[in-house]
Chains A and B, each alone.
Chain A
Amino acid sequence: MSERRPLLAMQQVTQAYSLPRTALFSPPGSFTVLDSIDFDVCAGEAVGLVGESGAGKTTLTRILTGMERPQSGHVLFDGTDIWSADQAQRASFRRAVQMVLQNPRSSLDPRMRVGTALLEPMRSLRIEGDHVKRLHEVLDQVGLDRSALERFPHEFSGGQLQRIAIARALMPNPRVLVADEPVSALDVSIQAQVLNLLKDLVRDLNLGLVFIAHDLSVVAYTTSRVSVIASGRIVEVGQPVELFTRPTAPQTKNLVDAVLTVESGLSGTAL
């Protein structure tokens, strides 16, 4: 087996938040949100992260994207620790790791034309170059018409807005995309359009994709490796279909048991 060369990796990351004192002279307690987490993604690979709410998924993404500094452990991008990197390395990290959020209606400014919104990352990341050409490239990649640039977010459906959000994340030509529940706000009949798009982008652009979702079959469909997180620890890692059909950790079993399907509903075994 060839050695994995992760593009973005977390090594032994622990994060704890301090709690308010319970009594005037008692030492403040602390709450461990992430406990010795190892997590990584290679180029051209889609990895999943699943877990109940409160398990630490959001904190993990915040640390992975450099929005939060972990108390201990390392976040490595291309082998360099991002928290001890020099300014140029930091800048290239910020361009290389982009996020797609859950609800495009709230992650896009309603008063900003789509074209302006797509140029925001170029402005804030101080990227020079032919932005019009880049806009057109990215629109082609996500399958949107050029007329979209002049329009406002309210003129689009949820599925199209999520394409726009993905386009915005692609603008700085990232190498890793972190998508937090990118389809849970969408109707089922168009979920697949966005999932297929993400899958194509991973393949065509050799992107690393970190995909966070609560729907296990959506994760199984999109990713080739999945980590199950519970109470701040990674409890199981594996090939998603295998993991979800034969879970070993009790926390994975809980997640699998919670899944409702049309078939189990019709046969009366769901509840």
Chain B
Amino acid sequence: MTTPPAIEVKNLTVGYEDLNAVRGVSFTLPAGGRMGLVGESGSGKSMTALALMGLLPAGWQAHGEVLHDGVNLVSQSDRVLSSRRGRTISMVFQDPMSSLNPVRRVGDQIADVIHRHNGVGRREAMRQAVDLMVQMNLPRPEQLARSYPHQISGGQKQRIMIAMALACYPQLIIADEPTTALDVTVQKQVLRLLNAATRERNSALLMITHDLPVIAAMCDTVAVMYAGRIVEYGPVQDVFRNPRHHYTRGLLDSQPTMDNIALDGSSRLVSIPGMVPPLQRLPSGCAFNPRCPAATEKCRTEMPELAPNGAACWHPVGAVQVVEA
């Protein structure tokens, strides 16, 4: 028997009243797999993550199927979801300062998760918490466990968050921009740690970020989101080396790198013209068409589905352009 996937999302829609931030997203993340969900602000990537965790803000609703561990998370009660959060599915948030409890010692906060889900006593939970802190390469773990969040650095706080997320060997860890709020020099350490720790536990990783290099370093597959839909999906090597969607192409081209800078300062960085459309005024057809260099009449009227070649595009990059009358 094959292992069931860590998570299977089918036609997920997330919206507030009649505005949909996520519009029919489907993907499968195999057990122990590592997928990146990349997109800009307003693409719906964070709302997708919150829907998977059952943590949507008040008034927001999810429709569709999110299959995890044999149940559809979308139709579960808060009670069921809360028994799962931290145990089979857990999340690392962007800003560790606002996601840790400021008035509890960090060691206790890790121990809480273990005590609650593993049914072990307080003392044992605390021992395991310190153990986890050792694995997170935190200095002087016993002493640090007695610190409050404000007493430790941002990188240390994020490692505490990762320790909490890993505490119960979850099948799936969702990391939403885990290093964006950290200093660049600390970013790599935290990523390395998240990488090793998820591999050791064979936890699947869903990495949500706007940062393409982070996805390239951490993930096997990637889904590119634009205006609430997945516009390109495939192995990271294929998608980043030979993007099929013009949006992916544009994102890759606008990455500033040392190699494409002229010494005399004459170089111009590429940007995608225009901006992400607001949900209230999504263009008809392909939502990217007003910014797309290859858009035709068809793109303005018909919405492309995600094709087997990996892109939701009528005129994928590299395809022979058909001149329309």
Contact = CB atoms under 8 A, between A and B. Distances in A.
Interface stretch (B105-113, B137-145, B160-168, B263-271): B263-271
Interface in A234-261: 239-242, 244-245, 254-255, 257-261
B158 to A, nearest CB: 14
Contacts of B187: 258, 260
A244 B263 CA distance: 12
B216 A270 contact: yes
A258 B256 contact: no
Interface residues of B, number: 42
A191 B271 contact: yes
Contact of A265 (B216, B261, B269): B216
A193 B263 contact: no
Given A46-B265, A270-B216, 16 more contacts: A157-B275, A187-B41, A190-B272, A196-B268, A199-B265, A220-B261, A255-B184, A260-B213, A261-B257, A262-B255, A262-B257, A263-B216, A264-B216, A265-B216, A266-B216, A271-B217
A221 interface: yes
B185 A190 contact: no
A270 B271 CA distance: 25
B195 A271 contact: yes
A242 B261 CA distance: 11
Contacts of A232: none
Contact of A191 (B254, B261, B268): B254
A189 interface: yes
A257 B192 CA distance: 14
8 contacts: A187-B210, A189-B251, A192-B271, A215-B256, A221-B256, A224-B265, A240-B261, A262-B212
Interface stretch (B21-29, B127-135, B235-243): B235-243
Nearest to A220: B261
A160 B278 CA distance: 14
Contacts of B320: none
A160 B257 contact: no
Contacts of A46: 265
A132 interface: no
Interface of B: 40-41, 183-185, 187-188, 191-192, 195, 210-218, 236-237, 240-241, 250-252, 254-258, 261, 263, 265, 267-272, 275-276
Nearest to A53: B183
Contacts of B184: 52, 214-215, 255, 258-259
Contacts of A157: 275-276
Contacts of B195: 271
Interface of A: 46, 52-53, 157-160, 187-193, 195-196, 199, 214-218, 220-221, 224, 239-242, 244-245, 254-255, 257-266, 270-271
A162 to B, nearest CB: 12
A207 to B, nearest CB: 14
A106 to B, nearest CB: 15
A271 B275 CA distance: 32
Contacts of A214: 183-184
A263 B184 CA distance: 18
Contact of A52 (B183, B240, B250, B268): B183
B45 to A, nearest CB: 12
Contacts of A158: 41
Contacts of A190: 271-272, 275
